[in-house]
Amino acid sequence: MKRSADNLLSRYIFPFILMLLFAAPAFAEQPPERIRVVPGGAALVLEGKVARGGDIVYIFSAAAGLTFIGRITSKANKAGFAVTGAEGRALPEEEFDFNQHLTGTLEKAGDYRIAVSTFETEPIPYKLTVRVHR
């Protein structure tokens, strides 16, 4: 019995563990990028590529009561975004975690998180445009 357990470990389990260890960085979320969105200023355009399991995250600070406007474009609308506050709560107007466009109220002062994602395994190029105004 011991020999068959050793055989199972060496033939299947160890290679599987090694595969997971080396594949993990490809699916790891990148560290957040801090951006500066000026209330009433020009729109900020962010471009990149996103694949499933590798959300692209942007962090920005805003005062309470401002309005956030965001729009994402990508091939065949395969990328989307979500906006959450410091407590992880979505904007009150946000109905989905995969928005193509969103206008919402920033209820509290502090940091907000924009997470760009896709369900596709291949990297999807996107262009995210964000504005904040009173």
**What average pLDDT is seen over the chain?**
86
**Percentage of the chain lying above the pLDDT 90 cut:** 74
Reported confidence tier of residue 97, pLDDT bands at 50, 70, 90: confident
CB-based contacts of 48, cutoff 8 Å, min separation 6: 56, 116, 125, 126
Whole-prediction pTM? 0.78
Listed range (2-16, 67-81, 99-113) with the worst mean pLDDT: 2-16
According to DSSP, residue 77 is labeled G
Reported confidence tier of residue 5, pLDDT bands at 50, 70, 90: low
Q: Summarize the confidence of residues 115-128 as an average pLDDT.
A: 97
Give φ, ψ of 59 to 5 degrees: -120, 135
Give φ, ψ of 78 to 5 degrees: -90, -10
> How much is the pLDDT for 50?
97
Q: How many CB atoms sit inside 10 A of residue 86's CB?
A: 13
- DSSP string for 9-57: IIIIIHHHHHHHHHHHHHHSPPPPEE----TTSPPEEEEEEE-TT--EE
Q: Given a cut of 60, is residue 125 above it in pLDDT?
A: yes
Q: Summarize the confidence of residues 12-38 as an average pLDDT.
A: 63
CB-based contacts of 102, cutoff 8 Å, min separation 6: 68, 69, 70, 71, 81, 83, 91, 93, 94
> How much is the pLDDT for 11?
56
According to DSSP, residue 64 is labeled T
